[in-house]
Amino acid sequence: MELLLDVRDLCVNYKTYMGELKVLNGVGFSVHKGEKIGIIGESGSGKTTTMRAILRILATNAVIKRGEVHFIGNNVLKMDKKKLTEMRRRHVTMIFQDPTAALNPVFKVGELLADVVKYSHSFNAEKTTKQKLREISIDVLKEVALPDPQRVLDSYPFQLSGGMRQRVCIAMSLATARDLLIADEPTTNLDVTIQDQVLRLMKNLVEKKNLSVILISHALGTVRGTVDTVYAMYAGNMIETAPTEELFSNPLHPYTQGLLKSVPKLTGAGFSEGIEGRIPNYIDPPTGCRFNPRCDRALDICMKEKPQLLGVEDDKHKVACWLYSKR
């Protein structure tokens, strides 16, 4: 499979008045053409920061310390403005967590959608008539199973329900041909029955258009049902990766194990004790493995040296933990 996105040793800091937050601590992962990956982790683990770095839409106080992001062979972090715009318009698209904040409240859905179609379509933008744009917009809305697309086009975002708004966001991001879809907690703000519908819709569209996907979520179940490969993230590091079923049935990292055990099950097995403590302070993060203060199996080496993400048994299941390193 052709390599689409390759992130290597990405380090991002945030400058604040309290000091520098060392958030991303050498993140690395890759996405091949047609591959669907999921990134799980609790809030504050750096999932969104990673995605924003890929699109270079980080907050202004963020500093990319080191690392490389290659998209089809080009280093995104060194792209000039023109190439960057080209990438955002034609190749990579993102669905954000909160559709209310993602849609500009002073424009009608039709205007928002027309802009996206106009600027990212491969045909000549100036020659496209309003009529043609509207036709395309209606087709796009039909694709996301929105009833009465004509009415939706003439509505302002606040006139739609949360589920409809997220469908509009999906429609906008998939209006034109793309290679990679980044979905950042696309269903967190939705009710469970609506979440089910939106996820199914996204899955169908992705299959139909043969897109690569990065799905970010802290709701582990939604990731399990959607992607092929899962990465677990903790405090700015990728700590484990495996094919979906393997990761959920046989987690290796103490954090992944604790996380999976913490999720209440429909079978009713009660609760685990959860994981002690919380995400570290990023101004002065623990040395070595960043999970060591919360880990009940920490060794001496965990305090000193950062473990690398290495394969266990086969090369598909990798874990960054000293417990599994061959000594």
Partner 1 sequence: MEKNEDLLAVENLTKHFKTSFGVVRAVDSINFKVKAGETFGLVGESGSGKSTTGYMVMGIYTPTSGKILFKGNDISKHAKKRPKYLKKDLAIVFQDPASSLNPTKTIKDVVGLPLKVHKMVKNSDELAQRVSELLEAVELPAKDFMQRRPRDLGGGERQAVAIARAIATNPSFIVLDEPTSALDVSIQAKIMKVLMRLQEKLDLSYLFITHDLSLMRNVASRVAIMYLAQIVEFAPTSVFFQNPLHPYTQMLLSSVPVLTKEEEKLKPKGVISKGEVPSAINPPPGCRFHTRCPFASEICKTKEPIFVTAEPGHQVACHRVNIASQKQ
Q: For binding to partner 1 (CB under 8 A), which residues are involved?
A: 42-43, 161, 163-164, 191-197, 199, 218-222, 224-225, 248-249, 258-276, 278
Closer Cβ to partner 1, 13 or 222, answer by number? 222
Smallest distance from the beta carbon of 193 to partner 1, in angstroms?
A: 4
Please name the amino acid found at residue 126: E
Q: Report, in Å, the least distance between residue 327 CB and partner 1.
A: 29
Which residue's CB is nearer to partner 1, number 176 or number 222?
A: 222
Of residues 71 and 234, the one with the C-beta less far from partner 1: 234
**What 8-state DSSP symbol labels residue 306?**
P
Q: Give the nearest distance from C-beta 218 to partner 1 in angstroms.
A: 7
Report the alpha-carbon distance of residue 300 to residue 167 in Å, rounded: 50
Q: Which is nearer to partner 1, 106 or 269 (CB)?
A: 269
Q: How far is residue 142's CA from residue 256's CA, in Å, rounded to a whole number?
A: 39
Tokens, residue 4: 């689409």
Distances (CA, A) of 183 to 23, 47, 158, 170, 236: 21, 11, 22, 9, 19
Q: Are 34 and 212 in contact (CB under 8 A)?
A: yes
In whole angstroms, the minimum distance from the beta carbon of 323 to partner 1 comes to 19
Of 105 and 268, which CB lies nearer to partner 1 in the complex structure? 268
Q: What's the min distance (Å) between Cβ of 289 and partner 1? A: 17
CB-wise, 69 or 199, nearer to partner 1?
199
Q: How far apart are CA 179 and CA 4, in angstroms?
A: 8
Closer residue to partner 1 in complex, CB, 67/99: 99
Neighbours of 82 (CB within 10 A): 8
Residue type, 227: V
Q: Work out how close the CB of 194 gets to partner 1 at its nearest, in angstroms, rounded to a whole number.
A: 7
The DSSP result for 234-268, as a single string, is ETTEEEEEEEHHHHHHS--SHHHHHHHHHS--TT-
Nearer to partner 1, 34 or 44 (CB): 44
Q: Which segments of the chain does DSSP mark as H helices, in order?
A: 47-55, 81-90, 99-102, 109-120, 130-143, 149-153, 162-173, 192-209, 220-224, 244-249, 254-262, 300-304
Please report how close the Cβ of residue 140 comes to partner 1 at its closest, in angstroms. 20
- Amino acid letter for position 196: D
Among 75, 66, 89, residue whose Cα is nearest residue 13: 66
Start-to-end Cα distance in the chain:
33
What's the min distance (Å) between Cβ of 191 and partner 1? 4
